[in-house]
Amino acid sequence: MRTLTLDWLDDANATYFSTSTVNLRLNLAMWELQKRLISANKEYFLECVKTSTVSGQQAYALPTDMLQIVRLEWYNTGTSATSMSNKIIPMTPNQRDLLVNVTGDPQYYSMSKNNILLWPIPNRIVEVHLEYNYQTVFMSADSDIPDMPAQFHEYIPILATRDCLIKDGRPIQPIEQKLQEYETLLKQMAVQRQADSPRMVVQSSGDWSW
């Protein structure tokens, strides 16, 4: 990817744009691609971690690589493979006033820096599952491969090249056209996220029917 970027920049020997500068641009472009894939509802970055509550403990540390919460739920201990989950939904800061000093099985959560707070405060041991989108780590070695779907690998040097051209005050139209092809593909993914069935409306309140 670095070789391709330098080729598009007409700087094959990295005499103007240093190797470290191009590496940084590539890593930042990789993070930008990840954000766009998540916006298109790409579950490529989904992880699930599990922990058990402690009676009387409200705060639980979030994974250090957490980027975005997808789903939070709890099960009775040892039944996650056989029983229905109990979803824990987000709450606003003002709603917390309604649950001060209330204990029970968790129904809501809020965030506090690197911790997640459960409401009511758990009064028994249950198993909590957190599904989240993780933050990819920067590439550092020349042999590193970006943690992205292979069909989008070219997008990373394209975006890095555009940013370098902008910094240098050079025309970006040629690379912008190539970038637009990937932007169109990402938009198509966002419109039609699954190809195994027609699109449908998801009912988020009322009864449990689909």
- Measured CA to CA, the distance from residue 27 to residue 5 in angstroms comes to 12
The whole-number pLDDT of residue 210 equals 43
Q: What are the tokens at 89?
A: 């939904």
Q: What angle do CA 135, 176, 8 make, to 5 degrees?
A: 85
Q: pLDDT by residue for the chain (210 residues), tens digit each?
A: 999 999 999 888 988 999 999 999 999 999 999 988 888 776 889 999 999 999 999 999 999 999 989 999 999 887 777 778 889 999 887 787 777 778 999 999 988 889 999 989 999 999 999 999 999 999 999 999 999 988 889 889 999 999 898 887 888 887 888 888 877 877 776 665 554 455 556 555 555 554
Threshold 0.75, pTM exceeds? yes
DSSP 8-state code for residue 198: -
- The DSSP H or E segment spanning 158 is helix 155-168
The whole-number pLDDT of residue 173 equals 81
The whole-number pLDDT of residue 49 equals 94
| 146-170 burial: b if 16+ Cβ within 10 Å, else e | bebeeebeebbbbbbbbbbbeeeee
CA distances from 189 to 78, 115, 152 (A): 37, 32, 12
The whole-number pLDDT of residue 34 equals 92
The whole-number pLDDT of residue 199 equals 58
Among 60, 174, 185, 209, CA closest to 126: 60
For the chain, the structural domain boundaries read 2-42+149-185, 48-134
DSSP 8-state code for residue 99: G
- Measured CA to CA, the distance from residue 12 to residue 15 in angstroms comes to 8
φ, ψ for residue 142, nearest 5 deg: -65, -25
| 4-31 burial: b if 16+ Cβ within 10 Å, else e | bbbebbebeebeebeeeebbebbbebbe
- Measured CA to CA, the distance from residue 133 to residue 129 in angstroms comes to 13
The whole-number pLDDT of residue 205 equals 59
What type of residue is 108?
Answer: Y
* Whether 90 contacts 21, CB under 8 Å: no
